[in-house]
Structure 1
Amino acid sequence: MTITARKASWVLARSAQAAIAAAAVADAFRAAAVRDHYLHRTDVSLHRSGFISMVFVYLTSLAIVLFLVWLARSRRNAQELSPQASLPSRGWTIGAWFIPVVNFFVPRRFVLDIGRASSASWEPKRDTTLVNLWWGAGITHALLVMAGRVAPGSMAFLVVAEALMIAAAVLLGLVIERITALQSAALGATVPAAPLAQA
């Protein structure tokens, strides 16, 4: 009897990484365009900030969808690799991201749980630190964006907030890479070699 294990999806991982990177770059352009319009209100600046903001929304929506699909797939793979692991349900894995306050704490734990269940090669110090750095950069960026609404023309807020956004995107890309690589190696190891044909 052969056991067929699901392969970690590198195509899905790469798509999510690319969309996240594109959304982060678009956010930097959007923030600069919105600041420019705030300081110099013209029809041209309004049109430019509106257009870039629209592109940003589309790219961010795509990045969110691809990331959540990747996360759900990774959770399913982790469940196969570690059936006894305490992992959230598929619905809760995705739903926790959309519940106010809960989404500041719970999704980070879910990503850590999925990573730990993916492979015995998960390194608690290095890999957990990577997840924590990503989460910290993302949360700090969100808080700065909220604080920046008080002073929307502040260049200091813009530079720091967007630097954190780019850092969070890079770190999330590395988190996706690490978990996908661990699952790919673990799932590959669980697939037995095809029997040799008898002469």
Structure 2
Amino acid sequence: MADQVMDDGARRPEYVDACRRALIAQVALALNPLSLVATCCLALGLPVLEEVTGTPPISTLLLSQVSFVVAMLLMLATAVAFFAWLQRARSNAHALTGEPPAHGSAFAIAVWLIPCANCWLPLTVVREVDRKSDPTRGGSPWLLGGWWVAYLAMHFAIGRLATAVDRRAMGLWFFAWVASALVAATLAILVIRRIQKNQIALVTRADAHAIAAEFA
């Protein structure tokens, strides 16, 4: 689909397949909570191993810290992969509908980092892409809403974990973090798959119409 000039003179971007970016983002999202589960298993299993054997093969504290750092780095990589896919999906939604995004690319990334505003503005960015990508233009508010609630719960749990001083409270908030991360990652994968499926349906229909018009 070549670049097109819209009625108002603005350049309409070219549709570029986003399947690879979508796949990378989904794999990263799946690995993210799994790393937290591994960290949780280490935190529970290593003390038991130390008690049983008396001489664990490696420091419990060191291994827990390393696994935590790996989980944090994976979270950062997941964010980068998701943003890369989201930017391509926004551009493709513009290419398929001719409607430019309500906000620029810099805004679509910055809103995830602005305190307070990042509690709701990122959802509006993803919701816009979902609505424009849906052939019925209805979107999926329940899926997006569930994903966003789980996402906010995950970050709330991280905040409480960081400020917890009691060992039991730290354990409870860590489990809350893992559980909410699992739900958020699962729903985020479903959001990506839904948008990808709808955009592929739109571009396939557009190509079919172009071929029909050419031979009419």
Same fold? TM cut 0.5: yes
Contact between 1:35 and 1:153, CA under 8 Å: does it hold in 2? no
Cross-structure match for 1:27: 36
How many residues were matched structurally?
192
2:23 to 2, 8, 14: 14
Compute the displacement of 1:144 (Å): 2.1
| Matched ranges for 1:112-151 at <5 A | 112-124=127-139, 127-148=140-161, 149-150=163-164, 151=166
Q: 1: distance between equivalents of 2:167 and 2:41?
A: 10
Distance in 2, matches of 1:159 and 1:171, equals: 19
Q: Alpha-carbon deviations, 1:102-148, whole Å to 9, x = none?
A: 11110001100111111333444xx1110100000110121122223
Cα distance change, pair 35–116 in 1 and its aligned pair in 2 (3 A):
same
Percent identity for Structure 1 against Structure 2: 23
Q: SS of 1:193's equivalent?
A: helix
Return structure 1 stretches of 4+ with deviation > 4 angstroms: 2-5, 31-38
Could you say which residue in structure 2 is the equivalent of 1:165?
A: 181
TM-score scaled by structure 1? 0.83
Q: 1:184 aligns with which of 181, 197, 200?
A: 200
Distance 1:78 1:164 in 2: 29
Deviations 1:149-169 (A, max 9, x none): 324543433333311110000
Query: Which of residues 102, 106, 116 is equivalent to 2:117?
Result: 102
- Contact map agreement 2:15 2:91 (CA 8 A) in 1: no
Larger radius of gyration: 2
Q: RMSD in angstroms over aligned alpha carbons?
A: 2.8
Distance in 1, Cα, partners of 2:101 & 2:91:
12
Sort the Cα spacing of 1:184 and 1:109 in 2 relative to 1 into closer, same or farther, 3 A: same
Of 154, 158, 174, the match for 2:190: 174
Given the two structures, how large is their TM-score scaled by the length of structure 2?
Answer: 0.77
Q: What is the distance in 1 between the residues matched to 2:16 and 2:114?
A: 31
Moved more, 2-11 or 55-64: 2-11
